[in-house]
C-alpha cells in the first residue's frame, strides 16, 4: 500500500514539473535535459560529490538546502550567494543573515570537476539547485526533478539580504512575504518544513525564551536556556527538531507540542491561517513531501536569468570579468 502511494506521489510530481515548466513565467529556457548533450554526466557528478560530503558530515544536508533557499530568495536563483566580497563590495555571504551558511566547499568541488569535464557549461545556480535536491534525498526526503538552464548573476550585495524571512516573523507576515514571490500558503508551510534539517543559533531564537513562554514547551525552554546561557552565548546552537539530520515530518509534530525553535516556526501552529496544514503534514509525511516538492519547484524558478542575462561562471566565488 505504501509503495503504491509513493508511486502515485512520484507520478503527480512529474505532472507538476511538466505543468510548471509550461506555465511559469521566465521558465521557458529551463528543461530537464538541458545538459543532455553538452554535459551529460552533470547530475551524476553533483550527486557523487554531495554523497561523499554527506557521508563525512551529515549536517551538510541542511547547509546545502539553506544555500539554495538563501540564493533564490535574494535577487532570484542566480548563485549570487556564492560570490566573495571584494574591497569595494560586501557580498551576500557576509551579511549577518548569511554568516552561518555552510557547504561552499562542496559547491566549489562540484564546479571544479564540472569545469574539468565540461568547461564553461554548467552554471553555479544549477549546481546549487541540484545539490540541494540531492542533499534532501540523501537525508531521507523526496527525490524530485530539477529543471536546468539557470544562469549566474554578477551582483551580490549584503544589503539585498533584507529580502530573507526573519526568524521573528509571524504567520500573516510570512504569508504576505512568500505570496509576493508567487507562493501559496501551502507552499510556505511546506518550505518551512525544510527546518526538519539543521540547527539555529541562539541569536535567532532567544526571543522565544524571553517573551513567548505560552507557546514554548517548558522542558525545551529549560534546555534552550542552558544552551544559550553557556560561554558561547548567541553563537551556541540547538537543533530544529529531534531528528535534525533526517528529512522527515518530525518538525511538524514538534510544532504541535510547542517545541518550535524559531518564532517563525511555532507561529505556523499557533495561527489559524496555517494550523490545519501543520496538522496535515504532521500526520501525513507523504503529503508533506509532495507539497515540499511543489514548493521547491517554484522556488527554483524565482527571477531567473536566461539568454544573454548573467553568465556561466568559471569559478562560483567570482564573476568572470574579475
Sign, Cα dihedral of 69, 71, 72, 74: positive
Residue 70 appears among annotated catalytic residues: yes
How far is Cα 274 from Cα 266, in angstroms, rounded to an integer? 10
Catalytic option among 70, 181, 195, 201: 70
Identify the CA nearest to 82 among candidates 131, 133, 42.
131
3-state secondary structure of 225: helix
How far is Cα 177 from Cα 145, in angstroms, rounded to an integer? 26
Question: How far lies 71's CA from each of 135, 157, 192, 195, 231, in Å?
Answer: 16, 12, 16, 16, 32
3-state secondary structure of 89: strand
Residues in a beta bridge with 239: 199
How far is Cα 292 from Cα 232, in angstroms, rounded to an integer? 34
Task: List residues with catalytic annotation.
Answer: 70
Amino acid at each position: 500500500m505504501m509503495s503504491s502511494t509513493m508511486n502515485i506521489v512520484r507520478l503527480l510530481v512529474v505532472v507538476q514539473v511538466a505543468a510548471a515548466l509550461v506555465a511559469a513565467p521566465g521558465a521557458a529556457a529551463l528543461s530537464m535535459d538541458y545538459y543532455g548533450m553538452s554535459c551529460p554526466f552533470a547530475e551524476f557528478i553533483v550527486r557523487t560529490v554531495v554523497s561523499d560530503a554527506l557521508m563525512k558530515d551529515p549536517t551538510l544536508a541542511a547547509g546545502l538546502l539553506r544555500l539554495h533557499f538563501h540564493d533564490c530568495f535574494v535577487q532570484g536563483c542566480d548563485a549570487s550567494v556564492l560570490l566573495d566580497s571584494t574591497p569595494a563590495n560586501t557580498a551576500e555571504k557576509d551579511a549577518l543573515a548569511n554568516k552561518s551558511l555552510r557547504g561552499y566547499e562542496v559547491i566549489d568541488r562540484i564546479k571544479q570537476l564540472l569545469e574539468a569535464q565540461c568547461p564553461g557549461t554548467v552554471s553555479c545556480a544549477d549546481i546549487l539547485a541540484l545539490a540541494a535536491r540531492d542533499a534532501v534525498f540523501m537525508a531521507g526526503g523526496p527525490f524530485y526533478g530539477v529543471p536546468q538552464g539557470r544562469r549566474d548573476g554578477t551582483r551580490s550585495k549584503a544589503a539585498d539580504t533584507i529580502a530573507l524571512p526573519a526568524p521573528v516573523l509571524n504567520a500573516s507576515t510570512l504569508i504576505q512575504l512568500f505570496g509576493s514571490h508567487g507562493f501559496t500558503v501551502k507552499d510556505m508551510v511546506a518550505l518551512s518544513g525544510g527546518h526538519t534539517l539543521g540547527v539555529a543559533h541562539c541569536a535567532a531564537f532567544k526571543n522565544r525564551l524571553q517573551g513567548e513562554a505560552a507557546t514554548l514547551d517548558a522542558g525545551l525552554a529549560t534546555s534552550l536556556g542552558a544552551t544559550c546561557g553557556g560561554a558561547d552565548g548567541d553563537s551556541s546552537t540547538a537543533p530544529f527538531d529531534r531528528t535534525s539530520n533526517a528529512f522527515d515530518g518530525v518538525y511538524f509534530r514538534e510544532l504541535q507540542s510547542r517545541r518550535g525553535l524559531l518564532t517563525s516556526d511555532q507561529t505556523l501552529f499557533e495561527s489559524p491561517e496555517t494550523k490545519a496544514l501543520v496538522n496535515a503534514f504532521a500526520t501525513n509525511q507523504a503529503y508533506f513531501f509532495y507539497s515540499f516538492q511543489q514548493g521547491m519547484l517554484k522556488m527554483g524558478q524565482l527571477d531567473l536569468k536566461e539568454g544573454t542575462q548573467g553568465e556561466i561562471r568559471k569559478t562560483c566565488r567570482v564573476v568572470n570579468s574579475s
